[in-house]
Structure 1
Amino acid sequence: MLDSQRSNRLAGETSPYLLQHAHNPVDWYPWGPEALEEARRSDRPILLSIGYSACHWCHVMAHESFEDEATAEVMNRLFVNIKVDREERPDLDRIYQSVHQMLSRRGGGWPLTVCLNPHDLVPFFTGTYFPKEPRYNMPAFVSVLHQLAAFYAEHRGDLARNGQVLREALEAMGREHSGTVRLDVGLLAHAHQALRTNFDAAHGGFGGAPKFPHTSNLEFLLRSDGEGFDMVRKTLDSMACGGIYDHLGGGFARYSVDERWEIPHFEKMLYDNGPLLELYARMAVYTGEPLYAAVATDTAEWVIREMQSPEGGYYAALDADSEGREGRFYVWDRREIQGLLSADEYLVFSGRYGLDGPPNFEGHWHLRIARSLEAVAADCAKTGDEVAGLLESARACLRQAREQRVRPGRDEKIIAAWNGLMIRGMTVAGRLLEREEFKDSADRAFGFVRRAMDVGGRLMSVYKDGRARFDAYLDDYAFLLDAALELLQTRWCTGDLAWAVSLADRLLERFQDTEYGGFFFTATDHEALIQRPKPWMDESMPSGNGIAIRALLRLAGLTGDLRYAEAAERGLQAASGAMARYPHAHGALMNAAREWFVPPPLVILRGEGEALRPWCAKAREIAPEALVYAIPPDAAGLPPALAARGPAPQGPVAYVCRGRVCAAPVDSLATLTEILAAG
């Protein structure tokens, strides 16, 4: 049983995930010199367990094994046990997930269970969840522990030799460069074809179950031809109607366990919702359809209401579980809903959300749109307006009732990279939907990260309980740089531009692969690990390399500093082979490559704020992909190339460039419209 009075070495940590294990009978260590030295001194293998606070199967394994005295006794006697929050240490998670895929020839996940040789930190075993007793065609966890300890004791020579081979394979992977493939615009067509082949025409999205949003691929298709646009529309429609979307509270769960988007894995992650917020806001403007604006609005309001800290930064995640059950907060009993709604409300709500059909989640109903509004209106002999009104009142009633339930746990870490994704999404939604509170939310979060997480010239990755910790990774720099450039399009602040330049300079100085191109995941002075990854592929988030390269291209255009463009081009060249082999797995890089091949219009507007409003609106209307920066005439401290695009005494002036080709300055809105309309 769990002893709430006893604590282990995790009790002094700030990670909610580590603190969940602080009273386990397992003698857990956080990753660090103390644990590694103890493992070497005692010559015991390291049992490394990696997870995160919103992970359902992490909770299951904790309850079954880590809270069990007998299991803990075996772990403590035979191993040095280290618990890692993968959101605090994505470097460790990335390395050991890669090793798991190499050794097992299949994908990993969480919890990740790894056994390390204490003398070189190279794994000799990897797995994920293990049950306490044999089931799911899996051995009991304690049985695995005894086998691992015996293997370590009996095969020292093999471990050393195999470890060397594995290290060499990891080093080769880290050194891999793909400059043999010529950068060619045909890469974009190749990516489009691969996505078309993998597209699920029936339900939207790519591949089968489990199904993830893959937002970088959707962004790529959104900016391609009509067929690509249709694939995005089908996917966003299906997600908005499916159970991956929270129809009462807004926001999206991490993924769907089925191909129909009906039943999610119920955790809500900040990093999914930022890019999805942007996509739905863009589709709302492109199509004028109310569904997209409603989803974007509800998602942004959920983020502000539940995920923004009083200090300004955005929290990381909501748990999948509450009261010990996955999805307990979100699913419904039909009788409960009947007791809460009026007869008319229930009539339309049950038809709309599938309550008149069989339960779809463990004997309960998880809400998803089962019928169109028109079909419900016809079935109930009501007008469309009557149905819409009844549905809105029913949702409000159920939302209020749901608030009385035990809420899922909230991981209140503030992660720099994830904040970058949400700041960008909230900024775009605020601008496109004309919602000032969304812009203000993004501004508050951005200000918090600048103020609290950039400490003495070193950006920190995680903030919790007043402490900024862990040197930032590639994703932190890249996503914040990208967000800064988006925020500058919404409201100009020269101080924010200076900070963006500082981020870019540190990115080049501390992360760039000066030999082959591209960017490593960790900085030059990071803790020495068994690999220094240089990730190209999109995973649960867009590729840090892809976002960094696009942001550097944009910053080069804005500031005129060609160092950024040169670093971006070298990165694209280095990634070209990987992009050619697996184009559908490199959506963020493909988005960057598109901007390199076909630069979007860069529009610099100088003039007073009110006078520039119609110019901004018209530029974005004519060229939705344009990068539009409205800079006040008295802005000081601008980079020289930007300062040269000065204000005009007679009123607003516009400078329009595409790549390195610029038109003459124009002081007429009609002329600006003609230039942009001409392409």
Structure 2
Amino acid sequence: MKHTNRLIHSTSPYLLQHAHNPVDWYEWGTEALSKAVQEDKPILVSIGYSSCHWCHVMERESFENEDIARVMNERFVCIKVDREERPDIDQIYMDAVQALGVNGGWPLNVFLTPQQKPFFGGTYFAPPSWTQILTNLHAAFQANRTQVEATAEELRLHLLRSDVERFRQAPVEAELVAVAQGLYQKLSPKFDAVWGGMSRAPKFIMPAVWQWLLRYHVLTAQPEALHHTLLTLKKIAMGGIYDQIGGGFARYSVDGEWFAPHFEKMLYDNAQLLSLYAEAYALTRDPEFRTVITETVGWLTREMTSPAGGFYSALDADSEGEEGKYYVWTYRDLEEALGEHAPLVAEYYAAQPTGNWEHGQNILTRLLPDEDFLKQQELTAAAWQTILQQTKDTLLQKREGRPRPGLDDKIITAWNAMTIVGLTDAYRALGTPELLTLAEQNMRFLENELLEGQHVYRSYKDRRSHTRGFLDDYAYLIQAYRKLYEVTFNEYWLHRAAFFLETTLTLFFDPTDHCFYYTAHDGEALIARKKEIFDNVIPSSNALMAQNLWHLGVLLNRDDWKEKARTLVSGFSRLIADEPNYMAYWATVYLEMEKGMAEIVLLGADLEDVRKELQREYLPFAVFMGAISDSDLPLIADKAVTDGKTTVYVCYNKACRLPVYTVPEALEQLRHDTPSLSSTQPKY
């Protein structure tokens, strides 16, 4: 390589991709920021991530161009930021660009004064536009400095005004079911009744919305909510957004039919979708949902797991310079690979001789439910399953011989913990021991490599990065610990959850508005300190902390934690009611708090068999505790095995019903409070 810049020493795969640009890139840090002040130069902050298609395009077109790089180097201090390693920086400057009236996205290119105040920004720029912007902004900084500084100060003041200040209102005063029905009535007009999801394109899956709708159905026995949720999950699983051959989900669909995805695969999407499909399977026992879970875990273990047990971050959309090339097939490809079965398989996956997508290529997708396809083809389910499995094995083997998409092998704490949650939810629903083994293996990796005392670190690639964890890292870690406890009853996991909850309260909590900062009190000081309120593709870290406070408050009998959760959620209850699409995880926590969580305690030598049988049911408004004989946990300490049998206690707010000895008896006690559990679930 002709050029090598400072990024060669980074732990970020995205920054390493730019290490041989002729641009004199810096990482965000003292060296670059001090240089800007000393030389009185504006700063260019360019933010992206390794699987970002347009980030790659802008690099090829502009950042590898020596003439453009010369202008950047002479006139600006150029800083590259991996948004996944430094979401705190990304949040601030994304807010600034949106305040300027520009639609956000990546790459995000923002120009700052030497004091880090933004004055201009945008996303992708083609080379002629980029060159013109560089020239114009340099001229404006030199000739109109007062105006530039005024714009920057105005943006800084905007950034300092927190979302909490803007959106917190008096709590909603209404009965639970009425509030929930109001949320549903706001969501339901946006449903796409044909293809599932919401009526828009592009389509992001947004798992938190569908998880809330499943809970709403349990609360109200509302059949339409369940119908649309299951329709959505079916259509997604049939679409091109789901990898029909290798498992796992792409980031979003560019159309309204889940057909043509943006082909990058993100760990955080797949982690959440493991949980969502596990819940849907627990509710319906639909074998297709089980297949989705099994194939997605297969992809996770095959392509996304490091030898040490950490989960990688993402796979690029591109291979050989083309988006989706790794995943698509010509009709001839299918004929050569599958021989006599090719016409039947092509029909199943809607593949056409001329292609169903661009350049004669086919995205494998399913237009008919399996039962309709079998009727049409006069096939038995058993015969078709044999052909289908052979097809998947053959095509996967063929595909693995192709040049692979780029792998972002950075290991992020929050996303790994989220995946542990997905795996434990899948383990509860399916009972497959390997899922728990994979989750525990990953937690051991996190404990060995990314946790040190009370400190959580953000990421790992060959070595731990120096970046301390953010609120989502702590929040998902706590959730992962408590989920592991509930499927193992190993109290070590529960004590770790409590330890990091106390730590998070110490490091992130703001008692003035009863909310959590995204960055720790002892973290790097940026020009603004944000509090994450709205769900995005990942649920709000404050909503998740409210849930952690509530669940651990119940599990450990900590009324102070429960009160903090109530205060946090009630402050946003009006916003939840007004914007359920962007507050879905908050809405789930609201339902849990207002309905109340069943406290299910299992005691006895055979509690593991009882736990497995009971947790296979869909019980979203319950927490589980257990011990073979005795325990110091407050909700177990006063309970005992009766008549030498494994005993189940179903309690609410520490008041317990009579102990029972079988799962059907326990479910009968739970059904008394959960109307839809006693109804027959429709099959889709």
* Fold match by TM threshold 0.5: yes
In 1, Cα distance between the equivalents of 2:276 and 2:594?
22
Show the counterpart of 1:126. Answer: 121
What aligned pairs does 1:336-415 form with structure 2 within 5 A after superposition?
336-343=333-340, 345-356=341-352, 358-363=354-359, 364-377=361-374, 380=377, 382-415=379-412
Aligned equivalent of 2:483, options 483, 486, 502? 486
Show the counterpart of 2:248. Answer: 251
Query: Contact 2:331–2:353 (CA<8 Å) still a contact in 1?
Result: no
Show the counterpart of 2:180. Answer: 188
In structure 1, give the amino acid aligned to 2:476: F
Show the counterpart of 2:646. Answer: 652
DSSP 3-state at the match of 1:126: strand
DSSP 3-state at the match of 1:584: coil
Distance change >3 Å, CA 209–CA 10, structure 1 → 2: same
Show the counterpart of 1:161. Answer: 150
Asked if 1:301 corresponds to 2:290, the answer is: no
In structure 2, give the amino acid aligned to 1:663: C
In 2, Cα distance between the equivalents of 1:39 and 1:414?
31
Ranges in structure 1 where 5+ consecutive residues have no aligned partner = 134-139
- How much has 1:348 moved relative to structure 2? 0.9
What aligned pairs does 1:421-432 form with structure 2 within 5 A after superposition?
421-432=418-429
In 2, Cα distance between the equivalents of 1:333 and 1:674?
54
Distance change >3 Å, CA 234–CA 41, structure 1 → 2: same
Query: Contact 1:187–1:583 (CA<8 Å) still a contact in 2?
Result: no
In 2, Cα distance between the equivalents of 1:461 and 1:129?
27
DSSP 3-state at the match of 1:585: coil
Asked if 1:14 corresponds to 2:40, the answer is: no
Distance change >3 Å, CA 109–CA 668, structure 1 → 2: same
TM-score using structure 2 length: 0.93
Show the counterpart of 2:209. Answer: 217
Query: Contact 1:518–1:567 (CA<8 Å) still a contact in 2?
Result: no
1:538-565 Cα deviation digits (max 9, x unpaired) = 1121111111111210100000112211
- How much has 1:253 moved relative to structure 2? 0.3
Asked if 1:476 corresponds to 2:469, the answer is: no
1:581-637 Cα deviation digits (max 9, x unpaired) = 3222101111111111112311121222x34523652475484642222223255xx
- How much has 1:146 moved relative to structure 2? 0.6
In 2, Cα distance between the equivalents of 1:110 and 1:18?
14
Q: Which is worse superposed, 284-293 or 91-100?
A: 284-293
- How much has 1:480 moved relative to structure 2? 1.5
Q: Which is worse superposed, 243-252 or 356-365?
A: 356-365
In 1, Cα distance between the equivalents of 2:611 and 2:375?
46
In 1, Cα distance between the equivalents of 2:110 and 2:44?
6
1:364-418 Cα deviation digits (max 9, x unpaired) = 1111113344554455554444333323222221111001001111111111111
DSSP 3-state at the match of 2:41: coil
In 2, Cα distance between the equivalents of 1:63 and 1:371?
41
Query: Contact 2:629–2:641 (CA<8 Å) still a contact in 1?
Result: yes
The percent of aligned pairs where both chains have the same amino acid is 38
Aligned equivalent of 1:677, options 657, 671, 679? 671
1:490-546 Cα deviation digits (max 9, x unpaired) = 112221111101111011111112011221111111111122111211112111111
In 2, Cα distance between the equivalents of 1:544 and 1:492?
26
Query: Contact 1:431–1:439 (CA<8 Å) still a contact in 2?
Result: no
Distance change >3 Å, CA 370–CA 59, structure 1 → 2: same
DSSP 3-state at the match of 2:516: coil
Query: Contact 1:519–1:571 (CA<8 Å) still a contact in 2?
Result: no
1:256-306 Cα deviation digits (max 9, x unpaired) = 011110000111001000111121122223222211111111001111221
Show the counterpart of 2:623. Answer: 627
Aligned equivalent of 1:202, options 169, 194, 214? 194
In structure 2, give the amino acid aligned to 1:655: Y
Distance change >3 Å, CA 305–CA 175, structure 1 → 2: same
Q: Which is worse superposed, 532-541 or 573-582?
A: 573-582
In 2, Cα distance between the equivalents of 1:287 and 1:665?
29
Q: Which is worse superposed, 447-456 or 256-265?
A: 447-456
Aligned equivalent of 2:69, options 46, 49, 72? 72
In 1, Cα distance between the equivalents of 2:487 and 2:179?
32
Show the counterpart of 1:137. Answer: none
DSSP 3-state at the match of 1:297: helix
DSSP 3-state at the match of 2:456: strand
Aligned equivalent of 2:43, options 41, 46, 59? 46
In structure 2, give the amino acid aligned to 1:348: L
In 2, Cα distance between the equivalents of 1:555 and 1:75?
51
Distance change >3 Å, CA 24–CA 547, structure 1 → 2: same
Distance change >3 Å, CA 224–CA 332, structure 1 → 2: same
In 2, Cα distance between the equivalents of 1:667 and 1:386?
44
1:157-191 Cα deviation digits (max 9, x unpaired) = 12222222222222223551514233543442222
Query: Contact 1:322–1:408 (CA<8 Å) still a contact in 2?
Result: yes
Show the counterpart of 1:136. Answer: none
In 2, Cα distance between the equivalents of 1:619 and 1:114?
49
Show the counterpart of 1:530. Answer: 527
In 1, Cα distance between the equivalents of 2:459 and 2:642?
44
Show the counterpart of 1:548. Answer: 545
- How much has 1:489 moved relative to structure 2? 1.4
- How much has 1:433 moved relative to structure 2? 0.8
What aligned pairs does 1:189-338 form with structure 2 within 5 A after superposition?
189-225=181-217, 226-338=223-335
- How much has 1:427 moved relative to structure 2? 0.9
Ranges in structure 2 where 5+ consecutive residues have no aligned partner = 218-222, 674-684
In 2, Cα distance between the equivalents of 1:210 and 1:559?
43
Show the counterpart of 2:104. Answer: 108
In 1, Cα distance between the equivalents of 2:47 and 2:545?
27
In structure 2, give the amino acid aligned to 1:490: V
Aligned equivalent of 2:511, options 496, 511, 514? 514
1:466-491 Cα deviation digits (max 9, x unpaired) = 22431111111111111221111111
Query: Contact 2:429–2:617 (CA<8 Å) still a contact in 1?
Result: no
Asked if 1:666 corresponds to 2:663, the answer is: no
- How much has 1:456 moved relative to structure 2? 3.1
Q: Which is worse superposed, 393-402 or 617-626?
A: 617-626
In 2, Cα distance between the equivalents of 1:229 and 1:8?
54
Query: Contact 2:310–2:411 (CA<8 Å) still a contact in 1?
Result: yes
DSSP 3-state at the match of 2:458: strand
Query: Contact 2:99–2:155 (CA<8 Å) still a contact in 1?
Result: no
Number of residue-to-residue matches in the alignment: 663
Show the counterpart of 2:451. Answer: 454
In 1, Cα distance between the equivalents of 2:429 and 2:238?
22
Aligned equivalent of 1:172, options 146, 156, 161? 161
